[in-house]
Structure 1
Amino acid sequence: MWQKIYLSKKNSPDTYRYISLSHLKFELKLRTAIVEAAKALKRSGPSFETFEDSFCNEQYWHLNSKGGFELRSSVTPAEGIRDIFVNGSLYGFECATAIVIVLYKGVLDSIEEKEFNRMFADLLLYDWHYDSDLRLIEKYGSARSFPGDVGYFKNPDVNPEHMEWQGENTVKIEEDLYYGHGIGIVSSRAIIAKLNRNRIPGSNVSAYLTDQVIYPDFLYLSQFEAGSSVIGSHVIEQAFMQEGGITTQIGRRRYLHT
């Protein structure tokens, strides 16, 4: 997987800059961990549910009134995330929450556990709510994506009676293979076909993969890997700006417009 990602980026018409070999290696490591986490979540068997019908293992999480999972005070973030992958049948959630869970698991498997527990204390799993230390970057203007990236398939003419199929958040596994909670690991064509079956009756407007790519701030997270040295904030910001385009930050998420 490391080689596939490396060669794909190397052969891309875009330019990707790294401050060190360690920075590159960490990105390859975390991207691979995200892919493996997506596969593992599918194997664990959690149900696809709306927020109203979500459920969780109450030994580790408290289910709030909105359908979110609040980590119990006696449980560490690492323990809570791992339980979802061990006891998946005790959980039910929708696709956005599933993707955030996959991202957390990928990070957990890539950095020191004590740092993970420190960074993500008081963890809440709910829709696209996530801790600011996950440092997600959202990129538009480029259709190019790589394994470990998060993408979104939109269903513009969704049947109002089945709003849970208005779109599908996915993790890219490899070329034209995606993980989507409630759908599985399938091609883009299969995801689009599933969404199209939940359109307004008579609609000919097809679902499609949007030009949106989301991924963690690999450089920022790399400093929490075992044996890594602390990276100055100015270095992180400079590396982010060097990716090219217009950069903004709104709330927890950072945006790169190319």
Structure 2
Amino acid sequence: MIEMYGRIVTLPQLESQMVLNEFERKVLYQMLNSEAIYYYSSPNQLKFELEMRQNIVQAAQLLNDSDASFSTFKYARSNPRYWYTERNGAFKLLPGVRPSDAINDIFANGSEYAFECATGMVIILYKAVLHSLGEKRFNYLFQDLYLWAWQYDKDLNLETTRRYDYFPGDILYFDNPDVDPSTPYWQGENAVYMGNGLYFGHGIGIETREGMIEVLNSFRYPGAMQSAFLLEQATRPNFKKLYEYTFMYTPQYM
């Protein structure tokens, strides 16, 4: 359900105030039919979230289509024109480089990059925020990019909550508790829910829930009894906080 102006609203009421594409309408329909209540202060605030969810899904598709490789932190690599790769596998933005250029390069020159799945999720989110806020605001907010696992700039405002419902653009986690000790990097997979029963995980690609679980199960120790499974939780940006940045004055940066 969706509450706005202190009351539960319906799809026709919202459609009369917003122009929606097919993706946004599907997500909105799912939210309206959820037992949870989602609160918004205005149609514009809700519209921003719907648009950014689509940007997350599109960024996940772009990363899937790029030549970026999956690797452990030990073998991580990045384009030295934009990033310094630290010994722990982190990517640190080089001085004088525009953050937007560095993020876009990961998608444009993926063969220069290798990283694990958590870093991949953060990269996808940065790409989506860049598309949602534009280069000027993005470059002002994220001047000190540092890509390593789930480390991220505070302005990304990520929130992970236990929940039974999730929507396209949410980041989910497939847990593999019986992982083979020789392949600990397959102890789970972070994945963007793409909609229509599909998930993207860096290192696996785009699969159904059953496909994700099948891949992870192939990395269990011999005789393992417990299957990999999808956790009932979702990680998402604080869309409302990011929406506030659309009103922020940003001085020229680089």
TM-score band w.r.t. shorter chain: 0.7 to 0.9
Give 1:224 shift.
Answer: 2.2
> Does structure 2 retain, via aligned residues, the 8 Å contact 1:60–1:75?
yes
Equivalence for 1:4: 26
| Counterpart residue identity of residue 140, structure 2 | R
Residue 37 of structure 1: SS of its match in structure 2?
A: helix
* Structure 1 match to 2:117: 95
Q: Which residue of 1 aligns with 2:202?
A: 181
Q: Which has the higher contact order (CA 8 A, sep 6+)?
A: 1
The answer to whether residue 181 in structure 2 is matched with residue 160 in structure 1 is yes
Rounded Cα–Cα distance in structure 2 between residues aligned with 1:207 and 1:229: 43
Q: Which residue of structure 2 aligns with residue 129 of structure 1?
A: 151
Residues 1:199 and 2:249 are matched in the alignment: no
**Match of 1:2, as an amino acid?**
E
- What RMSD, in angstroms, separates the aligned Cα atoms of the two structures? 1.1
Aligned length: 227
Gap change, CA 1:223 and 1:164, over 3 Å in 2: same
State the SS of the aligned residue for 1:213: strand
Paired residues for 1:1-258 under 5 Å: 1-140=23-162, 142-225=163-246, 228=247
Amino acid at match of 2:214: A
Residue type at the aligned position of 1:36: Q
Distance 2:120 2:149 in 1: 8
The question of whether the paired residues in 2 share the 8 Å contact of 1:69 and 1:124 is answered with: yes
Runs of at least 5 residues in structure 1 that lack an aligned partner in the other structure: 231-258
Cα shift at 1:112: 2.9
Q: Conserved in 2, the CA contact under 8 Å of 1:112 and 1:224?
A: no
Letter in 1 for 2:100: A
Measured in 2, the distance between the counterparts of 1:108 and 1:117 equals: 8
Displacement of 1:139: 1.0
Q: Check conservation: 1:147, 1:174, Cα contact below 8 A.
A: yes
Match of 1:224, SS state, is helix
Please tell me whether the aligned partners of residues 177 and 188 of structure 1 are also in contact (alpha carbons under 8 angstroms).
Answer: yes
Q: Residue 15 of structure 2 aligns with which residue?
A: none
- CA distance in structure 1 between the partners assigned to 2:166 and 2:35 by the alignment: 12
**Helix, strand or coil at the partner of 2:78:** coil
Shift of 1:229: 6.5
- What letter matches 2:238 in structure 1? D
Divergent runs of 4+, >2 A: none
Distance in 2 separating the partners of 1:135 and 1:111 = 14
Deviation of 1:175 after TM superposition, in Å, equals 3.4
Counterpart-to-counterpart distance in 2, 1:229 and 1:57: 31
Q: TM-score, normalised by structure 2?
A: 0.87
- What whole-Å deviation, never above 9, does each CA across 1:94-148 have from its counterpart, x for those lacking one? 00000000000000000032211111111100000100100011111x2100000
Could you tell me how far 1:40 is from its partner in structure 2?
0.4
Secondary structure in 2 matching 1:160: coil
* SS of residue matched to 2:26: helix
Q: Which amino acid aligns with 1:179?
A: F
Q: Secondary structure at the match of 2:160?
A: strand
Q: 1:101 to 1:229 in 2, by over 3 A?
A: closer
In structure 2, C-alpha distance between the alignment counterparts of 1:223 and 1:169, rounded to whole Å: 28
The residue type paired with residue 215 of structure 1 is R
Please report the TM-score for the alignment, with normalisation by the length of structure 1. Answer: 0.86
| In structure 2, distance between residues paired with 1:56 and 1:136 | 24
* Percent identical residues: 45
